[in-house]
């Protein structure tokens, strides 16, 4: 089963959590070999790879993220699942930081974002988006 967009239940839980504290969103992305846009999309016949389309998503949505006070605080290319199913793989991993969950919700409701997110949908075969509460890290990793 593939997951690209949040379902209603997950979105309701997200909205029920505190809205006025910083959050980090862990993103795990598995890309399609070729992006699949709706037939009427301007990029539908360009032959873009999933990576091409995801780059377009990042380029077009980064200004919105910054405008709302967010930023990417970590990004990496997953290499191997050390603990977990070896059948699972991810092409992109990153953590986006938001000043509040309201800022995240403002981003996904932004009219320009709603247009640009079509690149993410076209690019993504599967994904995980995990909201994390920020906590200080001490000598014992978790304080």
Convert the pLDDT of each residue in 71-103 to its tens digit: 999 999 999 999 998 888 999 999 999 999 999
In a domain, 140, yes or no: no
86: containing domain: 8-133
In a domain, 45, yes or no: yes
| pLDDT tens digits for range 22-72 | 999 999 999 999 999 999 999 999 999 999 999 999 999 999 999 999 999
Number of domains present in the structure of the chain? 1
In a domain, 138, yes or no: no
Tokens of 11: 């979105």
Does the pTM of the predicted model rise above 0.75? yes
Q: How far apart are CA 46 and CA 94, in angstroms?
A: 27
């Amino acid at each position: 089963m593939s997951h690209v967009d949040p379902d209603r239940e997950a979105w309701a839980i997200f909205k029920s959590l505190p809205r006025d504290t910083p959050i980090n969103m862990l993103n795990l992305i598995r890309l399609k070999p070729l992006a699949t846009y709706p037939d009427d999309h301007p990029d539908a016949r360009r032959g873009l790879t999933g990576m091409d389309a995801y780059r377009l998503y990042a380029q077009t949505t980064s200004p919105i993220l910054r405008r709302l006070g967010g930023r990417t605080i970590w990004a990496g290319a997953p290499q191997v699942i050390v603990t977990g199913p070896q059948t699972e793989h991810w092409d992109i991993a990153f953590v986006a930081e938001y000043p509040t969950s309201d800022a995240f919700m403002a981003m996904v409701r932004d009219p320009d974002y709603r247009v640009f997110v079509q690149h993410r949908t076209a690019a993504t075969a599967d994904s995980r988006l995990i909201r994390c509460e920020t906590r200080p890290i001490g000598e014992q990793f978790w304080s």
